[in-house]
Structure 1
Amino acid sequence: MHSRICAKPLLAVLLGAAGLLGSAQAQEVKYAIAAEVASMDPQFANLPGNMMVAKQMFEAISDVDGDGRLTPKLAESWKRVSANVWEFKLRRGVTFHDGSALTSEDVVYSYARPAIIPPGPATLNGFLTNIVKTEAIDALTVRITTDKPVAVLPNFLSAIPIVSKKISQNLKPEDFEAGNGVIGTGPYKFVKFLRADRVELVRNEAYWGKKPFFAKATIRFIPNPPARTAALLSGEVDAIAQVPPADMARLKQTANIEVITKPLGRYSFLVLNQASDALPLATDAAGKPLTTNPFKDVRVRRAISKAIDRSAIASRVMEGMGVPTQNPIPSTMFGYNKDLPPEPYDLAGAKKLMAEAGYPNCFTFSLLARNDNHPTDSAHVQAIGQMLSRLGCKVNVEALPTSVTMSRANKLELPMFLQSSGADHGDVGVALEYVFSHPKNNPFRKVNMQTYDSERFFKPLYEALAATDDSQREALYRDTLKVMHEEVGVIPSQLMMGTWAVRKGFKLAGRFDERLYATDLSQ
């Protein structure tokens, strides 16, 4: 009896200890991302790994949420004073990790800094190119003047982390390597950075917003897909981003693993060379070089679009990692056109159009993809090549490294290739301008051989990007997408699916940009 009397207190002690252990374990989360970090300087480069780490510690005045919608962040509100002038009101009581207050002077400095630091591999300056003046009106008011009406300025500014002027003004990007200057306003504070291995963070207990669930976060860099999966299965990490396609079925069948998927603000599409007079790497049905360019004929472009079975590509080729689309963005994002369903598969209609255009037996041409971009790109173009063979086309399919493919594309040496582009900033106009606008008008850069050049397309696009009324801008975006569909400027194929996996007991809300932040995780 005595032993039984003592067993209850002992059991209580053991349960209490187990509870404390569980609580202690819940204080830390470890997860793996595919991208590495080029620099701990948050303004050095607009690269996925850099941003996934920097945005844990640094914030912008605006943000884009997990569904791709623009939201306030360090600025609680903003307004257009005139067509070219904006005012942003900063939140009261926001402090940097060193305890100093965020002021408008930090914002002004942060927008000047990307132009004066050594340029990284993907500069942030493109988001700031339209700004001609940034002023601190008072401690919490920033006024920005642009060189032309820019309706998407708050979207652009969501990409610019705000740094402390006092801390950062004498530092170079390399000084951040050891943690110097890694002082932001974000939900996590810097602890340690081991290049090509990990970043360790601790919760900012003085954070102005909702505090993260976990007190500590370790972000592992594991570019190798099988190694990322192995780390999850072994318990080395609690979650991973970008589940390798080859491991999807296995992880879905693993009892203590949950796989999360979500349509991304990233789509794949066929780019057709519509500029060259004689289509390169192409011959007629008899094997003679083409002296004309069939892709200048909208009937040919539409025939190719109709000959592609997007549903089959999504289910069989991409194994559920794609969603057939005609829109370059998911339905949650600003500017989506609900009246544009994916082009239905119609081989008979495709053959009729091709014959009307004067190519009853189609022709021979090359189709290229990048072999180091999305893991399904090579299989994607192989499937398209086979589908177009039913149209009579002879398609030579190749998958080459990005450096080779893009170099040849920019020289207009290719007839067609599979490209992908993202809409990371919560607005379809930003995505369209990035891909389609001419170099002289593009605030970023020309990223491919995009040669679609239609006044019917550019007119509503540029009107939308300048519009002062959001409802008018959204209507203009819908018109822009409708024109691109009618003229078959490009041939959309799939919205990519984002994939994540977590161990049992962890919860994760997927994001439209496939990023993974510690603040997305809880238990």
Structure 2
Amino acid sequence: MIRKRLFHSLLGLLLAATMLAGCSMGVEPPAENESPPPKAGAEGGTLVVARMSDATNLDPHFISTINAASVVHQKVYEGLVKRDANMVIAPQLALSWRQVNDLVWEFKLRQGVFFHDGTPFDAAAVKKTLDRVMDPKTASPRAAMFDKIKEVKIIDPYTVQFLLEKPFAPLLSILASHEGSIISPKAIDEYGRELSAHPVGTGPFLFRSWEPGRQIVLDKNPHYWGDQPKLDRVVFRVVADDTKRIALVENGEAHVAESIPVQDIERLSASNRLRVYRSEALGTEFIGFNVAAGPLRDLRVRQAISSAIETGAIIKGVYNNVGTQANSPLGPKVFGYSPSVKSYPYDLNKARELLAKAGYPNGFSIRMLTYDRNDRVTVAQVIRSQLKGIGIDARLEVVSYADFVTQIEKTRTHEIFVSGWGNATGDADYNQYNLFHTQGGGAGNSFQYSNPELDRLLDAGRVETDPAKRLAIYAKAQELELRDALLVPIRNLENLAVISTDIQGFSI
């Protein structure tokens, strides 16, 4: 067992999981039920993290889930910039940056940094990485994140410029996310589309092995340019069963269990072998409306439904008070969030009055869609019960996640839908533009909402460089979205994990 070992903050884990196949570098990882003996002293040893599921991809240009990114982002791979503990953009592989003008960003790079394969980090490596993700032949699903970059230009070996098609204020937030990871140019040439099985970055941990469905192993990078990690090895072990995952921490076979059932919090908090870790996350959960479907075309109907849903009861009854009351499509930690935006208060009399004015004094029947995740289904059942109070029969349909995405993004046959979203960059643009803009939203605009005023605000938020003015722009945008009752915000997400009492310094 690890005794009071420090968990280096660069391992700040994200909840969830899912990934692909990998290779071994010749070192046998620990057996499934074996936790390696620790070294003497306060640091070192192996940290075992039990996760719900495996990864799907470890290539930053093909990772499409936060749970996959959490294995390699800021561990194996680093970017030009990062977000610090307060969500502020800070230097990483770039020492400094400046905007030469609205269309040119210049970065001064850190010298003396090497990739895990010995290749030097320099401007050529930055250009090769960005050219790869932007190349249509690569067919990266993350390419759209960089579509404002016209060219990556090398000024000298440690100076690089990004030439933009048009001003783009969220650029740094994207460079700080996993999409902005800088990859070894040698590895790009050697592995190509097989890079997922051979991650090579500049980070504090080296990729060691990946046994699909079982575990991923990272080792300490002894040549890391920054502060050395406090651990020798990290093992991400796949344990699908909640009870087994928690039991591994209780009996000392693992040190962290990610994603724990909310109903177990009280029992786990009483244990003297472990503690429950909680921290504010970036995502939100909500009830969404397809404003082009049936009765939902009428604003008064959407307002009535919004007034009939008691979100506080959902947070308490379904989530055991995990997470906080949401008032906006954005979580409080996301840049652009407005604390002054207000959703419709719970008021059944007002809801009935609005329905009557809309021509539905006796209510109506409507379809409510969600996917087969236990908490989402339970939330939908509670909503169905609450809407009966105003005469609305919300017929619940539970489908697979793939079918859910198909319906809300392609066939558009949905009416009410229960869902949620994360935010990979910490910037309002990531969600706002992709979900609510008439043109930019595309498939992501599951609300089928189009408002020229909102489009102008979201376009302005992308080019405005003054942070205070950007905050004001997104505050107005959120007010419009809530005024037009596009959704009912339920809760701001919270990270949950169980941690051995022998671990210190852990953060998500």
Residue 341 (structure 2) aligns with: 340
Residue 304 (structure 1) aligns with: 305
Count of residues in Structure 1 that have an aligned counterpart in Structure 2: 468
* CA apart distance, 1:464: 0.9
Residue 66 (structure 2) aligns with: 48
Residue 507 (structure 1) aligns with: 504
Residue 126 (structure 1) aligns with: 144
Residue 10 (structure 1) aligns with: none
Q: Which moved more, 1:340-349 or 1:197-206?
A: 340-349
Letter matched to residue 289 of structure 2 = L
* CA apart distance, 1:42: 3.8
* CA apart distance, 1:240: 1.7
Residue 431 (structure 1) aligns with: 431
Letter matched to residue 452 of structure 2 = E
Note if 1:469 corresponds to 2:455: no
Q: Which string of whole-angstrom CA distances, capped at 9 and with x for unpartnered residues, describes residues 51-98 of structure 1?
A: 122221111112234554433321232222222221122223322224
Answer yes or no: is the 8 Å Cα contact 2:203–2:224 preserved in 1.
Answer: yes
Give SS of 1:390's match: helix
Consecutive unaligned residues of structure 1, counting only runs of 5 or more, are 1-18, 280-293, 512-523
Query: Which of 84, 91, 104 is the matching residue for 1:85?
Result: 104
Residue 475 (structure 2) aligns with: 478
Percent of aligned pairs sharing the same letter:
25
Give SS of 1:23's match: coil
Note if 1:59 corresponds to 2:58: no
CA RMSD across the alignment: 2.4
Letter matched to residue 324 of structure 1 = Q
Query: Which of 127, 131, 152 is the matching residue for 2:170?
Result: 152
Note if 1:252 corresponds to 2:269: yes
Aligned equivalents of 2:136, 2:246: Cα separation in 1:
37
Q: Which string of whole-angstrom CA distances, capped at 9 and with x for unpartnered residues, describes residues 314-370 of structure 1?
A: 011122233221123332331111212454322222222222222222211111111
Q: Which has the larger radius of gyration?
A: 1
* CA apart distance, 1:186: 0.4
Note if 1:451 corresponds to 2:448: yes
Answer yes or no: is the 8 Å Cα contact 1:44–1:173 preserved in 2.
Answer: no
Q: Which moved more, 1:328-337 or 1:475-484?
A: 328-337
Answer yes or no: is the 8 Å Cα contact 1:299–1:353 preserved in 2.
Answer: yes
Give SS of 2:224's match: coil
Consecutive unaligned residues of structure 2, counting only runs of 5 or more, are 1-36
Query: Which of 137, 140, 153 is the matching residue for 1:135?
Result: 153
Note if 1:73 corresponds to 2:68: no
Note if 1:322 corresponds to 2:323: yes
Query: What TM-score do the two structures reach when normalised by structure 2?
Result: 0.86
Residue 169 (structure 1) aligns with: 189
Aligned equivalents of 2:264, 2:72: Cα separation in 1:
29
5 Å-filtered alignment, 1:341-380, equals 341-372=342-373, 375-380=374-379
Residue 217 (structure 1) aligns with: 234
Query: Which of 106, 119, 127 is the matching residue for 1:108?
Result: 127
Q: Which moved more, 1:186-195 or 1:95-104?
A: 95-104
Residue 296 (structure 2) aligns with: 295
Give SS of 1:38's match: coil
Give SS of 2:476's match: helix
Query: Which of 439, 457, 462 is the matching residue for 1:460?
Result: 457
* CA apart distance, 1:412: 2.2
Q: CA 1:25 to 1:338, structure 2 compared with 1: closer, same or farther past 3 Å?
A: closer
Note if 1:398 corresponds to 2:416: no
* CA apart distance, 1:468: 2.2
Answer yes or no: is the 8 Å Cα contact 1:423–1:431 preserved in 2.
Answer: yes
Aligned equivalents of 1:467, 1:20: Cα separation in 2:
51
Q: CA 1:400 to 1:140, structure 2 compared with 1: closer, same or farther past 3 Å?
A: same
Aligned equivalents of 1:247, 1:26: Cα separation in 2:
31
Letter matched to residue 147 of structure 1 = E
Aligned equivalents of 1:350, 1:508: Cα separation in 2:
48
Aligned equivalents of 1:421, 1:448: Cα separation in 2:
13
Aligned equivalents of 1:53, 1:246: Cα separation in 2:
27
Letter matched to residue 225 of structure 1 = D
Q: Which string of whole-angstrom CA distances, capped at 9 and with x for unpartnered residues, describes residues 85-124 of structure 1?
A: 211222233222244431011011001123559868x722
Q: CA 1:225 to 1:123, structure 2 compared with 1: closer, same or farther past 3 Å?
A: farther
Answer yes or no: is the 8 Å Cα contact 1:68–1:265 preserved in 2.
Answer: no
Q: CA 1:350 to 1:119, structure 2 compared with 1: closer, same or farther past 3 Å?
A: farther
Q: Which string of whole-angstrom CA distances, capped at 9 and with x for unpartnered residues, describes residues 156-192 of structure 1?
A: 2222210121332232232653x4xx33110111222
Letter matched to residue 367 of structure 1 = M
Give SS of 2:444's match: coil
Answer yes or no: is the 8 Å Cα contact 2:258–2:498 preserved in 1.
Answer: yes
Residue 384 (structure 1) aligns with: 383
Give SS of 1:404's match: helix
Residue 489 (structure 1) aligns with: 486
Q: Which string of whole-angstrom CA distances, capped at 9 and with x for unpartnered residues, describes residues 425-479 of structure 1?
A: 01112111122234x435xx62363212112222111101111222211111111
Aligned equivalents of 1:157, 1:229: Cα separation in 2:
35
Letter matched to residue 398 of structure 2 = A
Aligned equivalents of 1:411, 1:167: Cα separation in 2:
40
Q: CA 1:68 to 1:330, structure 2 compared with 1: closer, same or farther past 3 Å?
A: farther
Letter matched to residue 435 of structure 2 = V
Q: Which moved more, 1:168-177 or 1:133-142?
A: 168-177
Aligned equivalents of 1:21, 1:104: Cα separation in 2:
39
Aligned equivalents of 2:429, 2:62: Cα separation in 1:
25
Aligned equivalents of 2:275, 2:83: Cα separation in 1:
25
Give SS of 2:155's match: strand
